[in-house]
Structure 1
Amino acid sequence: MSEYPEVIIRTALSFSILFIGARLLGKQTISQMTLFDFIAAISLGAITANLSFNTKLPIHYTVIAYTIFVTIIYGVAYFSMKNRAVRGFFAGKPTIVIQNGKILENNMKTMRYTIDYLNQQLREKDIFDVSQVQTAIIETNGGMSVEKKPEYAAVTRQDLGISAEQKKNFAVELVMDGELVTKNLKENHVSETWLRKELDKRQLKVSDVVYAVRGSNGRLFIDTYDDHITSPVDQE
């Protein structure tokens, strides 16, 4: 029974240091991972898991091990930014599997990459006929980049001689959870007076609004707490 408080404390501590480490290392570690990122994530998870429930291990041992791992990962990431050779060693390099419409079997064998998996990844790119592919590259995170042959490529506005529309702005969140997002208002030069007038037109107060955003087309989208729906379709 006396071990329960220790497990609770260790679990909270393991979550805290894992969260801090993830924030320090950045989004790359939790996005589509390279081989090095995968190893790093598995190692950090194993260390924090041991910290949370393995009461036979002293807390400071696992914290030290975790700190060393984070330092190594951070160091590798830093030197990878500075040196292309280091980046290539740890992250790997893209591999061409189709070039000029020809499948490169030797490159596929090196990666232990099968035709079935090649076709699967092409289908995920909405390509069901390999003969349409000019170039296909397996990126360092395992994803595939594809260039179609010119006759199968999508037609662009430039191909049709149609002028492009004026560049649109990003959507700007103005109200969230019933509160003004003042930072967004200031940074995007959106007048709070204008916003309140728009809300007044709809007989709304800021506190009535769950979410309000000025879209890329300049129009204001507003969603309120009261949706005026008596029987929601997804109601359990």
Structure 2
Amino acid sequence: MEHIVELVGRALLAFLIMMVIARLLGKQTIAQMTYHDFVAAITLGALTANLAFNVQMKIGHMITVLLTFTVIAYLLMILALKNRSLRKWISGQPTMIIQNGKILEGNMRKLKLSLDTLNQELRERNIYNIEEVQFAVLELNGEISILRKPEYLPVTRKDLKLKAGRQWFPIELIMDGKIIQDNLRQNNLTIEWLMSQVQKKGLTIAQVNYAVKSSNGQVYFDRYDDQMPNPIDKE
């Protein structure tokens, strides 16, 4: 029983430590995953697993090692921000794989990137004809950024000289049936205004699962009762 309690305690401690480390290193470590981010994530994950399950190792020693690696990862991140030359070595740099419509086979070989993978990345961006691509760049996080040739770019309202309507950042008003008071206050919206919008739809707050003021200024409501007699259920 004591062994199980110790394992549970170590697992909770490992989880809390990783949460603190993730907050310290920031969102970019999760979103971008550059070279040093990847190494840091793998190393810290292995150390945390040992902290949780390897009862032969002292907790104090494991925490010391974890903190040491965290400091190293944090310092590398700061150095990458301060020094461009070091940033190239620590985080890597983007690599051109298509330039002026020509595939750069040499760069593809260096990156161990096959044509099948390149075609898959293009298809995921709704590009089925490689001749549409002017430039393609493999970014630091492993994603491929594409710039189409001018003749294949989508037409915009500016191209058509159409007047664009004003847009706002979407404001979530109700989530999980609860009014988000902070969002109302920050955007100078009142409870009375929200209630009037709900009543216009013939609803009550208790019936609303989610409500958001969209970028076009319209208010969207999702009810708890969707009134769908035969909803699709994919298993």
Structure 1 Cα separation of the partners of residues 102 and 228 of structure 2: 57
Say how many residue pairs are matched.
Answer: 235
Structure 2 Cα separation of the partners of residues 156 and 198 of structure 1: 33
Is structure 2 residue 82 aligned with structure 1 residue 45? no
Q: What TM-score do you get using the length of structure 2 for normalisation? A: 0.90
Is structure 2 residue 205 aligned with structure 1 residue 221? no
Residues 39 and 164 of structure 1: CA distance in aligned 2, closer, same or farther (over 3 Å)? farther
Structure 1 Cα separation of the partners of residues 128 and 90 of structure 2: 33
Task: Point out where structure 1 has 5 or more consecutive residues left out of the alignment.
Answer: none
Structure 1 outlier segments of 4+, above 6 Å: none
CA RMSD of superposed structures (Å): 2.1
Greater mean alpha carbon deviation, residues 1-10 or residues 207-216: 207-216
Structure 1 Cα separation of the partners of residues 36 and 44 of structure 2: 12
% identity of equivalent residues: 44
Deviation at 1:181, TM superposition (A): 1.2
Find the counterpart in structure 1 of residue 146 from structure 2.
146
1:125-204 equivalences under 5 Å are 125-160=125-160, 162-202=161-201, 204=203
Structure 1 Cα separation of the partners of residues 227 and 114 of structure 2: 54
Find the counterpart in structure 2 of residue 24 from structure 1.
24
For each residue in 1:1-47, what CA deviation from the matched residue of structure 2 results, as whole angstroms up to 9, or x when unmatched?
A: 43111101000000110111111111122224222211111111111
> Which amino acid in the other structure matches residue 191 of structure 2?
E
Structure 2 Cα separation of the partners of residues 103 and 227 of structure 1: 50
Q: What TM-score do you get using the length of structure 1 for normalisation? A: 0.89
Structure 1 Cα separation of the partners of residues 222 and 145 of structure 2: 38
For each residue in 1:158-189, what CA deviation from the matched residue of structure 2 results, as whole angstroms up to 9, or x when unmatched?
A: 333x2241231011111223332111111111
Work out whether residues 32 and 140 of structure 2, in 8 Å CA contact, stay in contact via their aligned partners in 1.
Answer: no
Structure 1 Cα separation of the partners of residues 148 and 224 of structure 2: 47
Task: Point out where structure 2 has 5 or more consecutive residues left out of the alignment.
Answer: none
Is structure 2 residue 120 aligned with structure 1 residue 120? yes
For each residue in 1:91-144, what CA deviation from the matched residue of structure 2 results, as whole angstroms up to 9, or x when unmatched?
A: 111111111222222222222222222222222222222222211111111111
Structure 2 Cα separation of the partners of residues 131 and 224 of structure 1: 46
